[in-house]
Structure 1
Amino acid sequence: MEVITAHTNTDLDALASMVAAQKLYPEAVLVFPGKLSRNVEEFMSLHKDIFDIKDIKSISLDKVKRIILVDTKNPRRIGKLAELLQNKNIDVHIYDHHHWAEGDARGSVEVVESVGATVTLLVEIIRRRSIAISPLEATIFALGIYGDTGSLLFTSTTPRDVQAVAYLLENGANLSVVAEFLGRPMTDEQKALLRQLLMSAERHVINGCKVLIARATCPEFVVGLAMLTHTISEIERLDVIFTIVHMEDRVHIVARSNVNEVNVAEILAPFMGGGHPGAASATVKKGDINEIAEKIVRIMQDKVRPPLAAADIMSAPVKTVFPETTIAEASQVMMRYGHTGLPVVQGLEVVGVISRRDVEKATRHGLGHAPVKGFMTTNVITVGPNMPVSELRELMIENDIGRVPVVQDGRLLGIVSRTDVLKTLHHAEVKKPVKTVYVSHIRPQLNISEYLRKGLAPETWDLLQTAGEMAEDMGYQLYAAGGVVRDLLIGYGNLDIDLVVEGDGITFARTLGQKIGVKVRAHEKFGTAELVFKDGFKIDVATARVEYYEYPAALPKVETSSIKQDLYRRDFTINAMAVALNTERFGELIDFFGGREDLQFGQIRVLYNLSFIEDPTRILRAVRFEQRYGMNIEPQTLNLLKEAVRQNMLERVSNERIWDELFHIMLEPAAGKMLARLNSLQIWPQVFPGVTYWEVQPVLNNLHQAIKMLEEWDCPLPAEQWLPYMIAILHWSDEETALKICRRYNLNKRQTEKILVTLDKWGDVLSEVWRTPEEGRLGQLAQSVMALPRESYPLLLAVLDEDWMHQRLRRILTAIEYNKPQLDGKYIRQLGIKPGPIYRQALQALWQARLDNRVTNEEEEKQFLHQFFGLARTD
Structure 2
Amino acid sequence: MEIIITHEQADFDAIASVLAAWLLEPNRFPVHPKRMNRNVTAFLNEFKSDFPFKGWDELPDEKLVTAQLVDTQSIGNTSIINEDTLISVVDHHQPRVNLPENWKCFFDRTGACTSMFVGAIRSKKIFPDPIHCTLLLMGIYEDTGNLTYGSTTPRDLEAAAWLLSQGADLNILRRFLNAPLTEAQNILCDRLLQNCETISILGQQIILSTADARDISDEFSTVAHHLRDMLSPDAIFVILATKAGIRLIGRATNDRIDVGQIMKRFNGGGHSRAAAGLIPLKKDENLLDLFSSTKKDLLDLLPGFITPPITVEQIMSTRPLTISSETPIRSVAELIHRYGYEGYPITDTNGKLIGLLNRRSVDRAIAFDMDPSIETIMDPGDYTVKPNDSIDYLKEMMNLSGWGQIPVVNEQNSEIIGIVTRTDLIKILTGNSSIPGNRNYAQTLHRVLPPSSLKLIQMVSQAAYSCRYPIYIVGGFVRDLILEQPVVDFDIVVEGDAIHLARTLVNMYGGTVRTHARFGTAKWMISSIHPEIISSSEHQDNSQFYMELPNSLDLISARTEFYDYPSAMPKVERSSIKLDLHRRDFTINTLALRLDGDHFGDLLDFWGGFHDLQSGLIRVLHSLSFTDDPTRMLRAIRFEQRFGFTIEKHTMLLLKEAQSLLKQVSGRRILNELDLCFRESIPEISLSRLEKLGLLQQIHPSMHWNERCAKDYRKLVEANPGVYWKDLIPDHSVFVQNIGKYLIWWSNYSPETISEICKRLQLSQISEKILQAYGLLNRKMSEITEFWPSDLTFFLEKLPVEAIYCYDCLTDNPKMHEMIYKFITKWRFIKPFTSGKDLKALPYPPGDWISGVLKRLRKAWIDEEISSQDEENKTLTFILPIFVKSLETRSSKNETKDFTS
Ranked by relative contact order (alpha carbons within 8 Å, sequence separation 6 or more), the top structure is 2
TM class by smaller structure: 0.3 to 0.5
What's the TM-score once normalised by structure 2's chain length? 0.45
